[in-house]
Structure 1
Amino acid sequence: MAISFRKSSGEESGGDIAPATGRNGELQRGLSGRHLNFIAIGGAIGTGFFIGSGAALAKAGPVGCLIAFVFVGTILWTVMVSLSEMATYLPTAGAFSAYATRFVDPSLGFALGWLYWFSWAITFALSLTAAGLTIQYWNADFNIGIIIAIFWVVFTAVNFLPVRIYGELEMWLSSLKVITIVGWAIFAICMASGTGQEGRLAFKYWTDPGPFAEHLVPGNTGKFVGFWAVLIQASLSYQGAELVGVGAGEARNPRKTVPRAILTTFWGILIMFVSCIFLLGLVVPANDPALLSESSNASASPLVIAATRAGVKALPDIINAVLLTAVLSAANSNVYSGSRTLVALADEGQAPRIFTRTDARGIPWASVCLTSAVGLLAFLNLSAAGGRVFNWLLNISGVAGLITWAGTCWSFLGFRRAALAQGLSRETDLPYRSPWQPWTAYYGIFFCSLITLTQGFTVFMRWSTSDFFGAYISLILFVLLWAGHKAVYRSPMVDPREADIVKGRIDYSRDPMGMGI
């Protein structure tokens, strides 16, 4: 299907107020700040955190793991504040590709948008599969195909509900995960204080087996390798926090709700992740063999491992139920974020125009349908050969978030140059100003790029051609998308003096609540 560039709607209409209700690409501003918070939390806190944090502890040890999560949190902060400044001034659905297209390079926006869309669409398939595996914890003979089919129908239907109802549902699903994390943190504090069958733990495991673990190779080199491996894993755990920016185009009064939601989401996720990693290192030793389990249900969760060591027998079923909630919440966010990214691509002329179409309630039905359809790839898991193909596809989603983070910081630098070139004052014209710019954005670009390039470093220590392409397929796809678009359209880099800083802007003097009227 041919893709062509078109004149922006801001140029066509000559206006600067973003429409928010109606048909033909007009989304409704029905999301409040708390909805944006929980959409991002729903995307970020999933099985990767509830189960994957155990492997992180085993690779790096309690202190190495904690430092890695804190450090990646600083990288996420640079992305979130840069995104906040742009999304507050220009609240656009599926913002990442739109900002890159308008402020840096149309080819960059094309590559970022399609890679980001596919990563969330294929993650929807992963979430459906994970739901089946989680339910099999209670009944191993249950047909996973039935679970995939049921939840595919349910969450496709949910994403056709008005966005306000979708936001409420996501808020309640995500709230259960937050409550679980808080409850487990209280349990871990009690366990470290001596209420478990092992007695008072305090910082016992920081001494034996030690603060850092060796990974793949012995000595200090092995400790650094473990730290770096967890650095990569931590970045993947945090991904989804940026989804708060995807919903900016459907937020009520974005001038207030967007920056507040972005910063609240960042601090909430950072505090929950870092606190849990810290407490996990207190109550579970890094050399516990259960941490390296390859299971996908509650038996592999470090939360359950800690409870088992404390002598609590009833917790696995509870944790598995929470894991199911986490998976379903993630599935809900996957379709939403993927569909809005597709809307942004179509709105910038980088996808067929049909994907901007909405129904009377403002639902982008074509984008939801295509995103949801990719979730049917979950049925590949019903055969062994299909499962191998499915795992390769999932590798694309792993690094796509890091590439998006780097692209967001780069887009901010382009936005900053355009604002200066066109006489926009950061002090008087911007509703929100991110601190310490442009150094904040440079910091984010550097470390996101470094982690992206090195995330498959273990392949070079123990070479495997299959593992190499598995680790770097997303980066290869991104380069191919960018280079292919550049070769076909030969689009130049955006001139800051001509960058579109009008389309999507809300004139608060005429529309104080930012409803797009």
Structure 2
Amino acid sequence: MMEKHPDHGGIEKGEPAESASTPESAGVGNVELQRGLSGRHLNFIAIGGTIGTGFFLGSGAALSKAGPLGCLLSYLFVGTILWSVMVSLGEMATYIPTAGALSAYATRYLDPSLGFAVGWLYWFSWAITYALSLTSAGLIIQYWNADFNMGIIIAIFWVVFTAVNFLPVRIYGELEMWLSSLKVITIVGFIIFGMCMAGGVGKEGRLGFTYWRDPGLFAEYMATGAVGKFVGFWAVLIQASFAYQGAELVGVGAGEACNPRKTVPRAIKTTFWGIMILFVGTIFLLGMIVPSNDPNLMSDASNASASPLVIAATRAGVNILPDIINAVLLTAVLSAANSNVYSGSRILVALADEGQAPAILKKTDARGIPTYSVALTAAFGLLAFLNLSSEGGRAFNWLLNISGVAGLVTWGSTCASFIGFMRAMKAQGISREHLPYVSLWQPYTAWYGVFFCALVALTQGFTVFISWATSDFFAAYISLILFVVLWVGHKLVFREKFVDPYMADLVRGRYNEEGDELRPGERSERL
């Protein structure tokens, strides 16, 4: 064993190198998933679920609302919240790598009713987002040919990506890696392009920090003066919270990771720093090369014409970029569609394994694929056909609103679950010093995440209180209302008690040093 060492806020114990042999089985209760995902697969599953059209298209509106510095500070601040979630998840996911871990940990360490509510809300979020991804793919393709039939596009991509998720998990991971790689390459290319443009390449000449001085560091949003600048900062902070969601998918895939004690901590660190560098770097350079008062930033189009990357290229006189960016946007939504079905199906597996969903949903085939969970999640993608009519489109938008805050609820419950996890370890006499991965400043980091996730979730619809509209209120808060109904309803029906830390399950799904799963009542000589 190598000595423990600090690395980006965590401590990791050396483990044997990953085996190149056939993936081992990952027993989770009666679930027999296959441990076929490497660290790079986990990285790209999370990156693929995070970097989507919301970032490629929405960052322009963010710059317009808050200005270059306000936008940058918002993304940096949300990055600290994400860090608290990722390191809390890292300790639990390396100790007990469970499929669909985000709801399972809430059930084991805090409250079964909370795990039920979080799991079903989070599953619905990914299931309905699959339908959104299919619709977005149609809109992007119509950029090249407005007469192309949307229904045909939706049907083709639904068949393709549903079929992909019935393939062995290693094949899924490889496909997701290549799809996500194109997005990463595009962002890195834009960062290089932005640096060149700021330095003087382009018809506008050397820009530097020109737009930081005029129109200024901060923009006003919905109000004037200091209040308007703060409102702009907070509006982008909420937008950034949604943009970063998906990074936690590292934990969803932990149950199918090879050698999770080694791959999961490394994947969590790489995913966090990779996403932060890509997002913050892009936002920083975007504020240098596009003024926050450019009227094109507030476009509500769903194709390349709304991308701030295209706006920047147009200002620089580069006219070939729109088609390239549109192709990348198509790749982005297809990668997201791929991740949507995977993550949603694994959440169903976790719910079924904890007795909170029909047991059939945790059954797997000979290749370790949870076929029933994949089929149910994929079926929700057919809701994309609602968008073919105006009445159906309105119904679809309401369903989409339900998923809006699910990620923040999941982030907050993950940090809260870690606090329960620490409490259970202390009660059962297990020292954190011997865990495969130990993060710094706990439990304060987790409390920080709980507080700000709750604060952002409660205030994400604040604009409705500035200009009241009842329909807008329900659109903004229907997901929180549904979460409370699920949590309280489950508790009233099943009379579940909060988890006693002395009785919390710290064994099921854990593996000893020899790679054998521990059974209830067992303890390995070493952690």
Give the C-alpha shift of residue 349 in structure 1.
Answer: 0.1
Per-residue CA shift, 1:83-102, capped at 9, x if unaligned? 00000000001001100000
Q: Which residue of 1 aligns with 2:486?
A: 481
Number of the residue aligned with 1:209: 215
CA shift, 1:248, in A, is 0.2
3-state SS of paired residue (1:57): helix
- Residue number among 255, 260, 269 corresponding to 1:254 in the alignment: 260
Partners of 2:222 and 2:391 in 1: CA distance: 29
Root mean square deviation of aligned Cα: 1.2
Which of 436, 455, 461 aligns to 1:456? It is: 461
Answer yes or no: is 1:416 the counterpart of 2:419: no
Partner of 1:300: 306
Partners of 1:37 and 1:87 in 2: CA distance: 14
Alignment check: 8 A CA contact 2:35 2:257 kept: yes
The alignment status of 1:502 with 2:507, answered yes or no, reads yes
Q: Residues 165-204 of structure 1 correspond to what in structure 2 (within 5 A)?
A: 165-204=171-210
Tell me the equivalent position of 1:97: 103
Give the one of 437, 441, 458 matched to 1:436. 441
Q: Give 1:294 shift.
A: 0.7
- The match for 2:400 is 394
CA distance in 1, matches of 2:230, 2:95: 41
CA contact (8 A) 2:28 2:353 kept: no
- Secondary structure (helix, strand or coil) at the match of 2:131 reads helix
Task: Spell out the pairing of 1:106-505 with structure 2 (5 A cutoff).
Answer: 106-428=112-434, 430-505=435-510
TM-score, length-scaled by structure 1: 0.94
CA, structure 1 residues 23+345, in 2 after alignment: closer, same or farther (shift >3 Å)? Answer: closer
CA contact (8 A) 1:23 1:359 kept: no
Matched residue of 1:199: which SS? Answer: coil
- Letter aligned with residue 66 of structure 1: L
Q: Aligned pair in 2 of structure 1 residues 301, 144: CA closer, same or farther (>3 Å)? A: same
> AA paired with 2:106?
A
Q: Does 1:72 align with 2:93?
A: no
In 1, Cα distance between the equivalents of 2:438 and 2:191?
34
2:84 aligned with 1:44: no
Cα distance in structure 1, aligned partners of 2:468 and 2:393: 23
So what's the TM-score if we normalise by structure 2?
0.93
The answer (yes or no) to whether the contact 1:23–1:360 under 8 Å persists in 2 is no
Cα distance in 2 for partners of 1:241, 1:320 equals: 24
Q: Which amino acid aligns with 1:134?
A: I
- Once residues 143 and 515 of structure 2 are traced to their aligned partners in structure 1, the CA distance between those partners, rounded to angstroms, is 56
Deviation at 1:329, TM superposition (A): 0.2
Alpha-carbon offset, residue 510 of structure 1:
4.9
Q: Is the 8 A contact 1:21 1:29 kept in 2?
A: no
Separation in 2 of the partners of 1:184 and 1:97?
37
Q: Distance in 1 between matches of 2:372 and 2:64?
A: 44
Contact 2:220–2:228 (Cα < 8 Å) also in 1: yes
User: SS where residue 432 of structure 2 aligns?
Assistant: coil
* Counterparts of 1:389 and 1:194, CA distance in 2: 48
Given that 1:418 and 1:499 are in contact with CA atoms closer than 8 Å, whether structure 2 keeps it comes out as: yes
| CA distances 1:238-276 after superposition (whole Å, capped 9, x unpaired) | 000000110000000000000100111000001100000
State the match for 1:13 in structure 2: none
Report SS of the residue matched to 1:194.
coil
Deviation by residue 1:183-205 (Cα, 9 ceiling, x = unmatched)? 01101111011111011100000
1:509: how far off?
Answer: 3.6
Kept in 1, the 8 Å contact 2:164–2:172? The answer is yes
Q: What percentage of residue pairs aligned between the two structures are identical?
A: 78
Cα distance in structure 1, aligned partners of 2:31 and 2:429: 30
Distance in structure 2 (CA, Å) of the matches to 1:96 and 1:418? 17
Contact 1:21/1:362 (8 A) holds in 2? no
Q: Which runs of 4+ in 1 moved over 4 A?
A: 21-24
**What is the DSSP-based 3-state SS (H/G/I as helix, E as strand, rest coil) of the residue aligned with 2:35?**
coil
CA distance in 2, matches of 1:300, 1:457: 25
**Which amino acid in structure 2 is aligned with residue 458 of structure 1?**
T
Q: Which runs of 5+ in 1 are unaligned?
A: 1-17, 513-517
Q: Distance in 2 between matches of 1:231 and 1:390?
A: 26
Q: 1:333 to 1:358 in 2, by over 3 A?
A: same
Deviation at 1:508, TM superposition (A): 1.4
Asked whether the equivalents of residues 40 and 240 of structure 1 are also in contact (C-alpha less than 8 Å), the reply is: yes
Distance 2:515 2:375 in 1: 35
Q: d(CA) in 2 for partners of 1:69 and 1:510?
A: 40
User: C-alpha distance in 1, partners of 2:449/2:182?
Assistant: 31
Q: 1:284 to 1:156 in 2, by over 3 A?
A: same
8 Å CA contact 2:353, 2:359 repeated in 1: yes
Tell me the distance in 2 between the aligned counterparts of 1:21 and 1:451: 36
Q: C-alpha separation between the residues in 1 aligned to 2:373 and 2:305?
A: 37
- 1:484 maps to amino acid: G
One-letter amino acid of the counterpart of residue 286, structure 1: S
Mapped to 1, the partners of 2:474 and 2:488 lie a distance apart of: 19
3-state SS of 2:135 partner: helix
Structure 2: how far apart are the matches of 1:207 and 1:146?
49
| Cα shift at 1:395 | 1.2
1:19 CA displacement? 5.2
Distance 1:509 1:38 in 2: 28
Could you tell me which amino acid in structure 1 is paired with residue 336 of structure 2? A
1:504 match: secondary structure:
coil
**1:42–1:326 contact (8 Å) kept in structure 2:** yes
- The one-letter amino acid of 1:462's match is S
CA distance in 2, matches of 1:110, 1:456: 25
For the residues of structure 2 that align with 1:230 and 1:21, how far apart are their CA atoms? Answer: 42
Q: How many residues of Structure 1 are paired with residues of Structure 2 in the alignment?
A: 494
Give 1:22 shift.
Answer: 11
